[in-house]
Amino acid sequence: MNYGQNTLALHFTLRTMPNVGHQLWHQLGMNRILQQAGLSPRACLLTEVMTLNRLICPCSEHAMPDWIRRTALGDLLQEDFSELADEALYRNLDHLHPPANVSSGNWLSGKRRCSIWMTPSICMT
């Protein structure tokens, strides 16, 4: 079978970039930061795969579960994503972002807070 250069490049990206992103995630200590902010191990895992999706192959939230299954993330993270639905990703976003009708100051009041969209040094109590 003869694959075009673009097809091979896409296949290479889908299979290798998650590994690179996963290594950077751990070098930055993101799981530790998220756990200190109160996220469960499952929420940390979903946050990692969602972040990698946005960095590597941004698509709609509805397409994210299929993208996750097409990559090597399941093998890399030793997690079965075969039943992952976009609803779980939406619920995870609720933990990461304040509701639209609540100011971030009130939502974070009294909680350990951390901006996961900035560098790890931004974390505060």
Q: Specify the pLDDT at position 49.
A: 94
In a domain, 23, yes or no: yes
Q: Which residue type, as a one-letter code, is found at position 100?
A: A
- Provide the token pair at 108: 């974070």
In a domain, 91, yes or no: yes
Provide the CB-side half-sphere exposure for 56 (13 A, CA). 27
DSSP 86-123: HHHHHHHHHHHS--TTS-HHHHHTTS-B--TTS-GGG-
Band (115; pLDDT cuts 50, 70, 90): very low
Number of domains in the chain: 1
In a domain, 28, yes or no: yes
In a domain, 24, yes or no: yes
In a domain, 21, yes or no: yes
Nearest residue to 47 via CA among 57, 63, 60, 33: 33
Q: Specify the pLDDT at position 124.
A: 33
In a domain, 4, yes or no: no
In a domain, 71, yes or no: yes
Give the bridge partners for 50, in sequence order. none
Q: Specify the pLDDT at position 46.
A: 95
Q: Specify the pLDDT at position 30.
A: 94
Give the model confidence (pLDDT) of 22-41 as tens digits: 999 999 999 999 999 889 99
Q: Which domain range does residue 43 map to?
A: 11-99+112-117
How far apart are alpha carbons 106 and 35 in whole angstroms? 21
Higher pLDDT residue, 10 or 29?
A: 29
For residues 109-119, average pLDDT: 42
Give the model confidence (pLDDT) of 44-88 as tens digits: 999 999 999 888 888 777 889 998 998 889 999 999 999 999 889
In a domain, 3, yes or no: no
